[in-house]
Amino acid sequence: MPIYFSWKKDDMSIPASLQITEKKEEFYSLLVFKDISAKHSGKYTCYASNAAAKVNYTAELQVRVAPRWALEPMDTAIMLGNTISINCEAEGYPIPTITWFKGQGKMSQDFKPLSMRNNSLVLNLATDIDEGYYMCQAANEIGAGLKKVIRINVNEPARFEQAARNVSSRRNDPVSLECQAKGDDPIAISWTHNNGRIDLNNFRFSIAEMKTDKGVDSQLTIARSDRHDSGIYRCVAENPYGRAELVIFLAVQERPDTPSVLEVFEVGSRTVKLSWRRPFDGNSPVLSYLVQYQPLKYLQSHAALGLSGGDWSGPNIINVTLPSTSISRSYDSDLRESAIVAGLTPATTFLIRMQAINEIERSPFTDPIVLKTQEEAPTEAPSNVQVQTGGESELIVTWQIPSRESWNGELIGYTVNCSEEKQNINYISVVNNSLKSVIVSGWATTKATIRGLRKYTRYAVTVRALNSFGSGPWSAAIFGTTAEGVPEAPPQHVNCTALSSQSLKISWLEPPLQFHGGIIQGYKILYRPIVNQIDFLAKLEVKRTSNLETYLHTLHKATNYSLRVLAYTATGDGVASQPLYCQTEDDVPDAPAAIKAAALTADSILISWLPPKNRNGIISHYTVYSREAGRKGQAKSHMVRVDENGYPVTYEARGLAENQMYEFWVSASTSVGEGEPTSVVAQATNTRAPARIASFGQLVRKAVGTSLILECLAVGNPTPRARWLTRDRPVTFSPFYEVTNEGNLKIHRVEGSLSGNYTCTANNLFGSDEIQYQVIAMKPPAAPQIIVQYASADSIRVSWDPPDDGGAPLQGYSISYRITGETWAQTELMPENNAYTITGLKCGNQYIIKMSAHNIVGDGVSSEEINVWTKGKASQAPNGNELIATNASCVNLKLSTWNNGGCPIHHFSIEHRPLGK
């Protein structure tokens, strides 16, 4: 079987470029290399196959080749500080090893090997040390190897070790600016000042240059430095390889200039904020400012206001150092600085000046300026405060003026406070608002009268001075006691209990201790009966006691009483309590006031009577007793029940014996029992009964405008007819009155002209009878005539004489008052009053006052209205100079200079706006 051969190099087909030929026979194959080289090295595999099998064999061919340059290094140059990489590559087999050497001299034997990571020579940030000879060697132990020596030149551009530096010099001293340039020759040096050429024709400037191993040194010398020599100097060095610049900041130092435009920015009471334009600092930072000030009052003249005048060396000069750390700066176009100077005294005029200080020297002082500090509250209290008792509810306070140094301005007055002692003389705690305060004007005023205080009360009095800024400290409390007065509050918890029909028990508690007004000597109980009887004069009675309870005896039975209790001191009566109403218990009534008996027929008699004068309760019924005259034994009785008006008051006894004399009497009963009977009247039955009038003539009081019925019950047999007479004239039908069918006289409307006597007569064949009424028309009281006794800032006292009572006892007065346009205020007064003080009024206002009296008929007409002014007037504004004080940022209103016109000022209203808006 034939064998087939094939070849591969390194598992790939053999490239034709290798120029390898194959020779083969039936059982072998050969590769023929004509010009062998390193590229022929590799693994060669022979593949043999036939129909039966396939085999291969691999053999490695290594061709050893001496090194040769693939990339030969060459001489080169590099700029100082740059990085360079020089490649050195060689071919051969085995692969040659590349080694770099650094020459230590001019001969090759002076080379020392370098450690490199690869075949390249890398110089990072080349310096002049890196300049010299380098050798690249390639070797693989085949032959002598390769060596190549190259030179690397490091070109250094002109440069400086530093880019800039600062130089300082005192004015007029010489100064040298050194410029040391490094680099390869040739180096050219040039100088500029503030970007301008330096005039070397000026004798003060000179330049010297000297060549060095490393470059060139240049020195600019200024023989005598001046302020305008300060600035930026540039030394420019240039060679073929580059250009460099050294910036020198020259500061010619001197004393600072004087601060300019010194102004007062803000003024306080003990501080002032100064503002000034920042001065030239002399090229040396201003370390501090020295501020000098002195009170203007210590100068002998005003010469200090000039630049050269004035004494700034005396003991009154105050020096204040302002370190730069305390200075506030603005960075606007004005370049201003400001600082706060402390240690001044309030309300004082000062001269003030300042200077700047740096390391070199102090600047001249500014021209002095004048300023006045703001006022401050006084720092000392008035001394020697004394308190004396004045009039009622008054204390008189005196004091001495505090020292002038403590005023801190101009005193405009004093505040005097009176506060009730926390534990006053009555040993009670007082409320926090028990404070009375007054302001007196004028620094020389040393006396004040405090009014409106509580009577007989211990007060703590303090005084403080005030100026337009505020108030100073209070003086130590001095105690004073007001004069004893009357109690200012009524007794508390007044209580009443009925003990019997004629006695009451009254109890109470003393007034609140803070309103005692003095030492309570006792109590008065004011009481009067409240009786709805026109002719009843309810007289006020008074009982005194030193206890907190008492008993009232011999009172009217079943009567409602008005009770009031007041406390009194040695000075007088206090305030009475509100009326308390209490009623005595019911009792048996008195006997009916009168009784009559009149024959009606042969077997009947009419008994009539008047109600008891003192009913002592509500009459429930009457009991009519009868018996035959001369017969002893138990009398007959008949109960006559009455309605709510007390009627009827008659009884007809029937079934009597003809011509028999009978005796009659009557008693009244209440819920308590039966009262005393009337006297006994006797009357016989009679078929010829003479005319009799069962009604009773009386005194009748009636209010005008009301109607009135005068009863005239005429009886007899035959029945008589009643006739009425007044003023000796028969009463006929008229618009004023009429006679009813029952014989009564009805007056339609009572008027004063109808007052008088009215007589009713009755006649028949067997006799006649008459009764008489006295009618009094009552009307409301007349108007009182008001008399003004005095007026104060908050009260008006009026008096009056009792007016005509209109026919009925006065029950009291009503006094009304108001300010025009406001509603009326009204006070009710007792009929015993003939004067009254209206309190709690507004100061400086016109009041309208009127009053009226009233009785059981009603309210009388009001008096004429009178107009009375309370004392005081509208507040008056002071002039602008007295009221307003200003500085740069605030307006101070001296409100205490406002004249209150005698009336307390309640509040102030302040409005402000920018001028022109």
For residue range 43-56, list pLDDT tens digits in order.
999 999 898 889 99
Asked whether 219 and 179 are in contact (CB, 8 A), the reply is: yes
pLDDT above 80: residue 776:
yes
d(CA 771, CA 38): 185
Higher pLDDT, 664 or 310: 664
pLDDT by residue (tens digit) across 140-151?
988 888 999 999
Asked whether 517 and 454 are in contact (CB, 8 A), the reply is: yes
Tokens of 443: 């620094």
The residues with which 760 forms a beta bridge, in sequence order, are 724, 771
Q: How confident is the model at residue 426 (pLDDT cuts 50, 70, 90)?
A: very low
- Report pLDDT for 535: 64
Interstrand relation of 825-829 and 810-819 (parallel, antiparallel or unpaired)? antiparallel
Tokens of 409: 């301005």
Letter for the amino acid at 36?
I
Q: Write down the pTM of the prediction.
A: 0.57
Dihedral over Cα of 156, 158, 161, 163: its sign: negative
User: If you search the block for the tokens 């100061």, which residue do you land on?
Assistant: 843
**Can you tell me the mean pLDDT for 122-139?**
89
Interstrand relation of 164-170 and 242-253 (parallel, antiparallel or unpaired)? parallel
**Can you tell me the mean pLDDT for 552-574?**
94
d(CA 480, CA 462): 11
- Tell me what percent of the residues of the chain surpass a pLDDT of 70: 95
pLDDT above 50: residue 796:
yes
Asked whether 389 and 395 are in contact (CB, 8 A), the reply is: yes
d(CA 582, CA 863): 34
pLDDT above 60: residue 432:
no
Asked whether 565 and 522 are in contact (CB, 8 A), the reply is: no
Q: How confident is the model at residue 422 (pLDDT cuts 50, 70, 90)?
A: low
For residue 159, give the DSSP letter. Answer: B
d(CA 98, CA 139): 7
Query: Looking at the chain, how many residues does it have?
Result: 917
pLDDT above 50: residue 573:
yes
- Report pLDDT for 22: 85
For residue 786, give the DSSP letter. Answer: -
Q: Domains, the chain, ranges and CATH?
A: 4-61 (2.60.40.10), 65-155 (2.60.40.10), 164-253 (2.60.40.10), 265-372 (2.60.40.10), 383-481 (2.60.40.10), 492-583 (2.60.40.10), 593-778 (2.60.40.10), 787-869 (2.60.40.10)
pLDDT by residue (tens digit) across 696-718?
999 999 989 899 999 999 999 99
Give the Cα-Cα-Cα angle 202, 205, 208 (nearest 5 degrees). 135
Residue in 215, 290, 274, 224 with CA at minimum distance from that of residue 254: 224
pLDDT above 90: residue 770:
yes
Q: How confident is the model at residue 108 (pLDDT cuts 50, 70, 90)?
A: low
Q: How confident is the model at residue 216 (pLDDT cuts 50, 70, 90)?
A: very high
DSSP secondary structure, 35-97, as one string: S--GGG-EEEEEEEE-SS-EEEEEEEE---EEEEEEE----EEEETT--EEE--EEEEESPPE
For residue 189, count other CB atoms closer than 10 A to its CB. Answer: 19
**Can you tell me the mean pLDDT for 519-540?**
85
pLDDT above 50: residue 427:
no
Asked whether 294 and 314 are in contact (CB, 8 A), the reply is: yes
**Rounded to whole angstroms, what are the CA distances from 843 to 98, 793, 835?**
122, 5, 21
pLDDT above 70: residue 310:
no
Backbone angles phi, psi at 651, to 5 degrees: -150, 135
Decide: residue 311, CB within 10 A, 0-12 exposed, 13-18 middle, 19+ buried.
middle
User: If you search the block for the tokens 């209070």, which residue do you land on?
Assistant: 474
Q: Which of 582-586, 658-662, 877-881 has the lowest mean pLDDT?
A: 877-881
Higher pLDDT, 532 or 845: 845
- Report pLDDT for 544: 96
Q: How confident is the model at residue 583 (pLDDT cuts 50, 70, 90)?
A: very high
pLDDT by residue (tens digit) across 809-864?
888 999 999 998 899 999 999 888 899 999 889 988 999 999 999 988 889 999 99
- Report pLDDT for 888: 61
Average pLDDT, whole number, for the chain?
89
